[in-house]
Structure 1
Amino acid sequence: MKKIYLLFFLCSFVGFGQNTNALSLEASILRGNALPHTEDMYHLVNGHPQGLMLSLVNRTDGSKEWHQAYNFPDYGAYFLYQDFNSQPLGQNYAVGALYNFYFWNRHLQLKLSQGIAFTTNPYDKVENSKNKAFGSKFMGNTNIGLAYDNQNLFKNIGFHAGILFTHYSNGRMKSPNSGINTYVLNLGLNYNFSEDFVRKPDTTTVAKSYKEPIHYNFVLRTGINENPIINSGQFPFYHIGFYADKRLNRKSALQLGAELFLTKSIQEYIKYYSVAYPEENISVNTDYKRIGIFVGHELLINRISLEAQVGYYAYQPFKKDIPIYDRVGIKYYFTDKLFGGFTIKTHLFLAEALEFGLGYRL
């Protein structure tokens, strides 16, 4: 493990000569703790997770309007390795996209990243029945970090230190899927490929109002998932939403809407539950459909935006989940009216679905 850390740090100092490109390479070592959120997780977290994160980012230079609006953020790709120091959990490898946002004279960095992870030791009925966190080899990965950052500590070399929160879940595409959350100390260095990089704010930009009238949106989110019973089978789901949005300024829009959840795996869960637990008096004909109302916020960056919603089930005949749900994810506008998205829907820390969406804004 120490040799791997050393290798990545050495890589971070490999230069490409004197050039004017905006690329920067970050290398970080990680060590911390897992956050058990269900009773069947405590026996899995008997060690301190450790790992490394390597990021290749592009530093924005002010050539586009959104660069200056967001105080010249970075965007790019990351590789994340985590060893949970737990035999049932094994190791995870993840790749994905990231944004770094800066505050406090660019010394406070907020990192947001999302990608796909691979685990070396998923649940297996015979070989690894203790691992209720990962039911499949592939899953989603989300990371949020806050760190002190000094990008020019010595010439091209910078330093950062802070905390990183990581989350892994397959969105219950396959059970079991308790998922796992960790918080780790993040200590690392960065190498800027050019000393000549200069940010050039566009002083010719004319201030304008971004306020808009209320718009109405239709969105269909779909995918497959499995109910909590292991090997009960994967079924498609269709989440149909209608909501109004009101853009307040350059960065923010508020949402209010309702949606219909047609989740076929819940229909199968009702059939199982009515037979397995007759004392609960659950009818096999209980309606599996749910209707939710929600409020949300959209952070508008460029054609990409970040979306967060919190909802309540106004109609939920089968009440095996709490009545509050939430959703976070990323949205991409193909045009001013047509958009796509990737979101994760959860009940607090318990994921229900990885959703692929397509919508239209009137």
Structure 2
Amino acid sequence: PLNKKIQIETGFSFVHFSNGHTRLPNLGINMPCLFAGLKLKTEKLNSAPRYMHPDTLPDRYQMVVELLGGRHEFGESTEPTGGISYPVYGLGLGIRWLPSRLHTFTASIEWNYYSSFYDFTILNRMTDHQQWLYASTIIFYAGHEFILGHLGLDTRIGFYLHNPFRQDYEANILKSEGGTKLINSNKLGFNWYLFDPATSIWNLRFGIYIKANLGQADYTGVGLSLIF
């Protein structure tokens, strides 16, 4: 703050628009923004506390088990169009840290199985060994969730530990290097908690999200999490 009535505010935002790769073409917009401004307090100053509960809480750690499901149309951003919408299945396991009522931080491992990858592998004979594993991915995520009551804004950034199909597909089918999108994975979504996440010993969480590779949507999914 410059003084008691004027303070400088700065921030960062990121906006993503797309159809979540549920249908092709998947044309979207990624818009990162920086902003700065002045905030003028015109109301009469009040020394009384603004909140009934402090933001800080004793540190807590919880385990998270997630069941995930989604859909996407197999292909690149613009082609081929008119294809089948394939299901994606997933399972996640993580640990999260709750330092306050407003913020949680999570580290997790997530496995995804793509039925589209499996069908493509069988039809094109890309491998004869453990096709289900070849059509799966394993990702490490680090995430932050901003919580307001029973709602949460969930953002995660991660990298692939296991991504054989896409690596082979990019190199031998598309004849490209693939680049960072074969390494980076991100998720952005909203969660709803059954109980107050700040005070509950265990909880159920329902979420909807977009999973992307370097800002390019991969699939749209939902998740059901057990937190304890």
Distance in 2 between the 1:309 and 1:242 partners? 14
Larger radius of gyration: 1
Instruction: Report if aligned partners of 2:163, 2:182 keep a CA contact under 8 Å in 1.
Output: no
**2:77 maps to 1:230:** no
Q: Relative to structure 1, is the Cα distance of residues 105 and 245 closer, same or farther in structure 2, using a 3 angstrom cutoff? A: farther
Residue 204 (structure 1) shift: 7.4
Q: Relative to structure 1, is the Cα distance of residues 182 and 262 closer, same or farther in structure 2, using a 3 angstrom cutoff? A: same
Aligned position for 2:109: 258
Residue 342 (structure 1) shift: 1.2
Distance in 2 between the 1:204 and 1:226 partners? 47
Aligned position for 1:77: none
One-letter code of the match for 1:212? D
Paired residues for 1:84-163 under 5 Å: 144=13
Give CA deviations for 1:126-155 in whole Å, capped at 9, x if unaligned.
xxxxxxxxxxxxxxxxxx5xxxxxxxxxxx
One-letter code of the match for 1:332? W
Aligned position for 1:55: none
TM-score by length of 1: 0.45
**2:66 maps to 1:219:** yes
Listed as ranges, the gaps of 5+ residues in structure 1 are 1-103, 112-143, 145-164, 185-196, 276-281
Distance in 2 between the 1:314 and 1:202 partners? 47
Distance in 2 between the 1:304 and 1:206 partners? 18
**2:155 maps to 1:308:** yes
Distance in 1 between the 2:147 and 2:11 partners? 16
TM-score by length of 2: 0.69
Distance in 2 between the 1:284 and 1:180 partners? 38
Aligned position for 2:188: 328
Paired residues for 1:38-117 under 5 Å: none
Q: Relative to structure 1, is the Cα distance of residues 175 and 308 closer, same or farther in structure 2, using a 3 angstrom cutoff? A: same
Residue 166 (structure 1) shift: 5.0
Residue 108 (structure 1) shift: 5.4
Distance in 2 between the 1:172 and 1:204 partners? 42
Give CA deviations for 1:53-105 in whole Å, capped at 9, x if unaligned.
xxxxxxxxxxxxxxxxxxxxxxxxxxxxxxxxxxxxxxxxxxxxxxxxxxx95
Aligned length: 188
Distance in 2 between the 1:268 and 1:183 partners? 36
Distance in 1 between the 2:7 and 2:65 partners? 38
Q: CA RMSD in A?
A: 3.2
Aligned position for 2:95: 244
Instruction: Tell me the percent identity.
Output: 20
Q: Relative to structure 1, is the Cα distance of residues 283 and 298 closer, same or farther in structure 2, using a 3 angstrom cutoff? A: same
1:349 to 202, 215, 218: 215
Instruction: Report if aligned partners of 1:227, 1:269 keep a CA contact under 8 Å in 2.
Output: no
Distance in 2 between the 1:301 and 1:322 partners? 34
Give CA deviations for 1:13-62 in whole Å, capped at 9, x if unaligned.
xxxxxxxxxxxxxxxxxxxxxxxxxxxxxxxxxxxxxxxxxxxxxxxxxx
Listed as ranges, the gaps of 5+ residues in structure 2 are 34-42, 171-180
One-letter code of the match for 1:262? Y
Distance in 1 between the 2:50 and 2:20 partners? 45
Query: Secondary structure of the residue that 1:214 maps to in structure 2?
Result: strand
